[in-house]
Amino acid sequence: MAAAGPASGSGPAAPVLAVDVGGTKLAAAVVEPGGRVVAYDRVATPNGEGLDAEGLWRTLQGLLDKVHADAGFPPLGGVGAGCGGPMTWPAAEVSPLNIPAWRGFPLRERLRARYPGLPVRVHNDAVCVAIGEHWRGAGRGRSNLLGMVVSTGVGGGLILGGRLVDGASGNAGHIGHVVVEPSGPPCECGGHGCLEAIARGPGLVAWARAEGWRQGGQDVTGVELASDARRGHPVAVAAMRRAGHAIGVAIASATHLCDLDVVAIGGGVSQAGALLFDPVEEAFRAHAWMAFARKTQIVPAALGQTAGLIGAAALIVAQDRYWNAGD
Amino acid sequence: MAAAGPASGSGPAAPVLAVDVGGTKLAAAVVEPGGRVVAYDRVATPNGEGLDAEGLWRTLQGLLDKVHADAGFPPLGGVGAGCGGPMTWPAAEVSPLNIPAWRGFPLRERLRARYPGLPVRVHNDAVCVAIGEHWRGAGRGRSNLLGMVVSTGVGGGLILGGRLVDGASGNAGHIGHVVVEPSGPPCECGGHGCLEAIARGPGLVAWARAEGWRQGGQDVTGVELASDARRGHPVAVAAMRRAGHAIGVAIASATHLCDLDVVAIGGGVSQAGALLFDPVEEAFRAHAWMAFARKTQIVPAALGQTAGLIGAAALIVAQDRYWNAGD
């Protein structure tokens, strides 16, 4: 599949200001229409006592100004943003789970006011990662992709028939809440046995601690657990097997329903490499036997930290494939 | 959403010959461009010893000739067919699980040769039911639908963003192989714990017999089991609860992944009515807590026996929404 260009009904040829709002960091970039990142910066997400919505917005504004300056103040073709959910969509009043300062914060409206006359589009952060991986990463040239982020939560985005799937309310792609064990552990969503309840970093850390791993450590995350697994710590390895098995079951369900070409897995937990991907593959193949399902490829995400920014830019420059909500 | 018409890039204004090839019956109809069935007939699928591929084809030809005659030999705008899977797609060399006489039978090519110059399109029979329910049934006017058929097998089809989802090889919609119990019973697909392994009619009958229901009966099906449930037989009621629970879990997974407006359930087992739909809803709500998921409506299919024929006709007359494979 060729790169998006003006002839295909895609967006402007000018660079895009891309934004990624997460609970850990705020990141921004100027992205060329072809997908190249020409300026990038990030700051830790402010989360001090007494931080209000406007304080966080000012920090984000400062970051956006800086990357625009770093790129030499090019005229912009638009602003694309990924943000942690939930949010209303496409209006993007955002209430990110891990950012208590923003509850119903009108992110799209604020960005529009700050960049008048430009198209401004916001989608879920994991959806933006999936878009990035489809447009310029591990799913490039494939028509049917599930992009997954296995990190503090388990998120995702779905591309079918070469186009982003939004669903009824912009919430398609919640692979983290596919049920992998109906009588499994409670999930923060209110349900139980969701993939996220088992495979998210904090869930794996809690499980590993109960099994004797770094019981005294504070603030350790799934990234450290993945790192210890690579060093051969048996409990950490077992935690990756536990996560991998759940992920493999969820992917089997997803490809039976959606007939996927490729599943790209990123996020901190995926840094365990084969210690995660081998059990993913094993569980997937134990459940996916039909010829069409067995053709699905499960691969590491290719773009790393900038996947979400590149995907956010694609909301503007490849709008024919990734933005279905009008202006 | 308005009905398909020539202005929307849809198909011909002439009636369509619609075909439904299943393991139990062959059915055919002449369907007007608006979806009305003007002639209909069916025959039991021949399955005698020594039946060969050509014998079955001759029976189907006779049925098609009869319904075309019954409708007064109108000029046709095309031929649409649903057929049990698996099949190659869109070439439609079909090998229906329950029709051993056809293995790699070139159904689309044969229909093309018999109706030269007309568009001829074939899709999975459960996909055609989902299309019918979206176009003229329980999902009319909604953009995101999962259509399910709970019968000898558990099949389905997926409409997202108002268009049929085919997936990488035309196999999207296999809701019957979403995993609902990873350590559950073996499935004919080779896996285990699939929805179909638990909720398909023969699986429920086997379970109910083991629990003491009609242990001596031969050839009873899920339809009789549903009927006994309605008469209050406690084992039959428990079997419907078992099926309903599994269906509800699968729907929770499906709507988390695809953000569905509506799920329409048809097929013989669904004739149990509230005895099936109440446990479906209960299990769904035990797993689907996020606001977007709880908005998904689960309803009985509306079109009954002709859903698949109406959907097959839509492959021709509403091709802009339901046929993504070129001619």
User: What is the percent of chain B with per-residue pLDDT over 70, rounded to a whole number?
Assistant: 96
> Is the model's pLDDT at A160 over the cut of 90?
yes
Q: What is the CATH number of the domain that holds A155?
A: 3.30.420.40
B95 chain-A contacts, CB cut-off 8 A: none
Please indicate, yes or no, whether residues A262 and A225 belong to a single structural domain of this protein: yes
Q: How far is B321 from chain A (nearest CA, A)?
A: 13
Whether B47 is in a domain gets the answer yes
Window B:15-54, CB contacts with A under 8 Å: none
How distant is the alpha carbon of residue B264 from its chain centre? 11
Question: Looking at the predicted structure, is the pLDDT value of residue A3 above 70?
Answer: no
Measured CA to CA in angstroms, residue B67 lies from A65, A132, B27, B29, B41 at distances of 70, 51, 10, 6, 6
A81, A316 contact by CB (below 8 A)? no
Q: Are residues A106 and A45 in the same domain?
A: yes
**Which residues of chain A have a CB within 8 Å of the CB of B178?**
253, 256-257
Average pLDDT score over residue span B125-139 = 98
pLDDT of residue B2: 36
Range of the domain at B43: 6-129+306-322
pLDDT per residue as tens digits for the range B199-215: 999 999 999 999 999 87
Q: What is the pLDDT of residue B216?
A: 67
Beta carbons of A172 and B295 less than 8 Å apart: no
Give the one of B86, B166, B258 whose C-beta lies nearest to A172's C-beta: B258
Query: Which of B7 and B195 is assigned the larger pLDDT?
Result: B195
- Chains A, B: CB pairs < 8 Å: 171
Does residue A1 sit within a domain? no
For residue A127, CA distances in Å to A144, A148, A308, A312 come to 14, 9, 8, 9
Average pLDDT over residues B122-128: 98
Residue A134 lies in a domain: no
| Structural domain contains residue B327 | no
Query: How many angstroms separate the CA atoms of A243 and A203, rounded?
Result: 9
- Check B288 against A191: CB less than 8 A apart: yes
Q: Residue A103, class by beta-carbon neighbours within 10 Å (0-12 exposed, 13-18 middle, 19+ buried)?
A: exposed
In this prediction, residue A7 carries a pLDDT of 36
Residue of chain B whose Cα is closest to the Cα of A195: B253
Looking at the structure, do residues A148 and A275 belong to the same domain, yes or no?
yes
- Residue A135 lies inside a defined structural domain of this protein: no
Q: Is A33 left (phi over 0), alpha (psi -120 to 50) or beta?
A: alpha
CA angle, residues B161, B162, B163, in degrees to nearest 5:
95
* Domain co-membership, B165 together with B235: yes
Q: What is the total count of domains within chain B?
A: 2
In chain A, what residues touch B153 (CB-CB under 8 Å)?
Answer: none
Residue A66 above 80 pLDDT? yes
Secondary structure (3-state) at A72: coil
Per the CB < 8 A criterion, the answer to whether B188 and A263 are in contact is: no
Q: What is the pLDDT of residue A227?
A: 94
**Residue A67 falls within a domain, yes or no?**
yes
Structure confidence by residue, pLDDT tens digits, B82-123: 999 999 999 999 999 889 999 999 999 999 999 999 999 999
> Do A100 and A176 belong together in one domain?
no
Choose the closest CB to A169 out of B182, B259, B287.
Answer: B259
Q: Of all residues in chain A, what percent carry a pLDDT higher than 90?
A: 90
Residues A109 and A144 in one domain: no
Over residues B48-68, the mean pLDDT reads 93
pLDDT at B10: 64
Q: Do A287 and A167 share a structural domain?
A: yes
Q: Worst-scoring range by mean pLDDT, A55-64, A211-220, A312-321, B13-22?
A: A211-220
Asked if the model's pLDDT at residue A111 lies above 70, the reply is: yes
Give the residue among B289, B262, B312 at the shortest CA–CA distance from B40: B312
pLDDT at B3: 38
Other CB atoms within 10 A of residue A64 CB: 23
CA distance A234 to chain B (A): 24
The pLDDT score that the predictor gives to residue B12 is 74
pLDDT band at A24 (very low <50, low <70, confident <90, very high): confident
Indicate the residue type of A309: L
Q: Which residues in chain A have their CB less than 8 angstroms from residue B169's CB? A: 259, 292, 295
- Going by pLDDT thresholds of 50, 70 and 90, the confidence category of residue B224 is very high
Say whether pLDDT at B5 is over 50: no
Task: Note whether B149 and B288 are same-domain residues.
Answer: yes
Q: Would you say residue A169 has pLDDT above 60?
A: yes
pLDDT at A58 (0 to 100):
97
> Residues B179, B279: one domain?
yes
Residues A257, B254: C-beta atoms closer than 8 Å: yes
∠A43-A313-A247 over CA atoms, to 5°? 80
Residues A183 and A233 in one domain: yes
A155 and A288 belong to one structural domain: yes
What is the overall mean pLDDT for chain A?
A: 94
The mean pLDDT value for A190-205 works out to 96
Q: Answer for the pair A187, A177: CB distance below 8 angstroms, yes or no.
A: yes
Distance CA A236, CA A272 (A): 10
The 3-state DSSP class for residue A149 equals strand
> How does residue A51 score in pLDDT terms, banded at 50, 70 and 90?
confident
Tell whether A187 and A120 lie within a shared domain. Answer: no
